[in-house]
Structure 1
Amino acid sequence: MLLRLVGSVGRRQTSFFPQHSSYRHITLIAHPFTRRSSIENNYVDYVPQQSRRNVSVMRKSAFEDRIRRLIRNDIQYELDRSPRTKLIPNFKSFAVDERPGEQWIRLNKQFGEDEEIKVEVTMFRVSTPAEKEGSVTTENDLELYISMVIDIFKDEENGILEFVCNVWPDSIEIEKVFMRDQDGMTGKPYLGPPFNDLDDELQTSLYDFLEIRGINDELALFLHKCMQHKSKNEYIRWMESLESFVARNK
C-alpha cells in the first residue's frame, strides 16, 4: 500500500508552490558592462530602450559640442595672430583673382596691343636642401616656394608661350619654357630641354623677356605675401565650414 502511494506521487506534476500562488519570477538584470551568462540571456532586460536612446543622444551632443568648441578656439587663435584680410584686387598692371575656396590664384594683364598674359599661382610647397653626409635637416633649413605657370597669348595662329617657374621670396626661377596650342596639349609633345641646359645668354634673355612684362623679383615678393593671406583665409574658411556642418547635425 505504501509503495503504491509513493508510485502514485511520483507520477504527479510536483509543484513547490500552490497553483494560485502570488509568487513572481525574479528577473536578473546584468550590469551593462558585464558579460551576460547563458542563463541571464533568457531573461528580459527591463531597461527602457527610450532611456538608452536619450543617453546616446546626450553623448553625441556633448561630443559634437566639444568639436565645435575646439574649432572656434582654433579660429580665434588664428584671428588673434592676424586679422583676416581680402587680397588686393590689383598689383601694378595685374588684376588679381583670389579664387575663394580653391588652392590657387590667377593674375591677368594686357601687354602692348596684342599680348595677353595669364599667371596661375598655387599654394606653398616646401623645399628641403640636399642632404649631406653627417648633417641633420632642421626646420630652419626648410624654405617655402610657390609654383607658377605663365601663359602668354598673341593670337590663335601663334599658340601659347608657356613658362613653368618656381617663385622664391625674392626671385623667380624658370624651370621650363615651351610652346603649346591654345586647346591644350595632347599626346606627349616635345617640351624642350631643361631650362638650365640652354645657352647662358639665351637664359638671360628669357628672364629679361619676363622682366619687361612685370614678372620680376617685386612680383615674387608680392606673391609670397599674397599666398600667406590666401593660406590663412582658406584655412579659416575650411574650419568654419566644418563647424557649420557639425552644428547642422545637432
Structure 2
Amino acid sequence: MLFRLVGRMGRRPTSLFSQHSYRHITLIEHPFAHRSSIENNYVDYVPQQSKRYVSLMRKLAFEDGIRRLIRNDIQYELDRSPRTQLVPKFKSFAIDERPGEQWIRLNTKFGDDEDIKVEVTMFRVSTPPTKEGSITTQNDLELYISMVIDIVKGEENGILQFLCNIWPESVEIEKVFMRNQDGMAGKPYLGPPFNDLDDELQTSLYDFLETRGINDELAVFLHKCMQHKSKNEYIRWMETLESYVARKK
C-alpha cells in the first residue's frame, strides 16, 4: 500500500501539523517489511507536541493504577475492621496517641509528688530460641511491646527508669536504673540484668509498679491499643502516599 502526505503550494497547514513542522513525506511499504517498522517510521514524523501528549497519557494511566491499588488496599483494611480512635484515658492514665509516630505516651500521677510518664513503642516480634534441626513457624512467633517508664519525684531529683517488655498478658522488667533529668552523658553504669537481682528484690519492684497501675491489666489494654495504632498508622501512611501520587505538578 502507498501512503502519501503531499504538501501543496498555498495549502494551509492542518491542525495536526504546524506551519514549521509540515513536510513532504512519502512512505512506501516494502512487500516484505514488518508492519511495526512502518509504524515506527511513522512515529518518527509525529509532531513533538503529540509525543508529549502520549507520554502524559501513559504517565497518568500508570499513576491511576498505583492509586487504584492503594485504594483497594485501604478498603481491604477497612472491610476487615473499621478505623477507630484510641480512647483518651485508661483508668488513671491519660493517653496521647501521637498521630503519625511509632509510639504513644501515657501520663499519670501517684500520690502528691510522683509524675509517671510511660512511652510505648509499636509491636516487635519475638523469635524463640531454636533447637538444632527444628523449624520456626508462624505459630512460634509472639508479638510484644517495648515500654519505658519514667518516675519523677520533684524537679531536683533524678528519674527512676524502668525498661520493660509488654507481653499480651504480662509485664516483664528488663532494666531498672537512675538517670538525671537532663539525660545521660557518656556510658553510665545501668546495673545488672534484672533477672540477676535477688528474687525478693525482683518481686518488690514488680509490686512497686503494680501499686502505680502498671500491671497485667495494663498489658492487655496496651496490646489492644497498639493494634488499633498500627492499623491507623498504616492507613494514614497509605492515604499520604495516594495523595502524593495524585498531586499535580
Give the TM-score category using the shorter length.
0.7 to 0.9
Q: Kindly state the Cα deviation for residue 188 of structure 1 after the two structures are TM-superposed.
A: 0.7
For 1:83 and 1:196, how far apart are their aligned partners in 2?
41
Q: Kindly state the Cα deviation for residue 63 of structure 1 after the two structures are TM-superposed.
A: 0.5
Identical-residue share of aligned pairs (%): 82
1:233 is paired with a residue whose SS is helix
Q: Provide TM-score, normalisation by structure 1.
A: 0.83
Work out whether 1:175 is the aligned partner of 2:174: yes
Q: Kindly state the Cα deviation for residue 156 of structure 1 after the two structures are TM-superposed.
A: 2.4
For 2:53 and 2:204, how far apart are their aligned partners in 1?
74
Paired AA for residue 138 in structure 2: E
For 1:208 and 1:141, how far apart are their aligned partners in 2?
30
Q: Kindly state the Cα deviation for residue 46 of structure 1 after the two structures are TM-superposed.
A: 2.2
Where does residue 243 of structure 1 map in the other structure? Answer: 242
Where does residue 122 of structure 1 map in the other structure? Answer: 121
For 2:231 and 2:157, how far apart are their aligned partners in 1?
39
Where does residue 194 of structure 1 map in the other structure? Answer: 193
For 1:219 and 1:206, how far apart are their aligned partners in 2?
16
For 1:27 and 1:183, how far apart are their aligned partners in 2?
80
For 1:157 and 1:76, how far apart are their aligned partners in 2?
52
For 1:231 and 1:215, how far apart are their aligned partners in 2?
22
Work out whether 1:158 is the aligned partner of 2:177: no
Where does residue 103 of structure 1 map in the other structure? Answer: 102
Where does residue 53 of structure 1 map in the other structure? Answer: 52
Q: Kindly state the Cα deviation for residue 47 of structure 1 after the two structures are TM-superposed.
A: 2.0
Where does residue 209 of structure 2 map in the other structure? Answer: 210
Unaligned runs of 5+ in 2: 1-23
Q: Kindly state the Cα deviation for residue 205 of structure 1 after the two structures are TM-superposed.
A: 0.3
For 2:178 and 2:228, how far apart are their aligned partners in 1?
33
Larger Rg: 1
1:193-215 CA deviation, whole Å, 9 max, x = no partner?
11111111100000000000000
Where does residue 219 of structure 2 map in the other structure? Answer: 220
Q: Kindly state the Cα deviation for residue 25 of structure 1 after the two structures are TM-superposed.
A: 8.4
Q: Provide TM-score, normalisation by structure 2.
A: 0.83
Where does residue 5 of structure 1 map in the other structure? Answer: none
Q: How many residues align?
A: 219
1:171-228 CA deviation, whole Å, 9 max, x = no partner?
0000000000000111111101111111111000000000000000000000000000
Stretches (4+) displaced over 6 A: 27-31
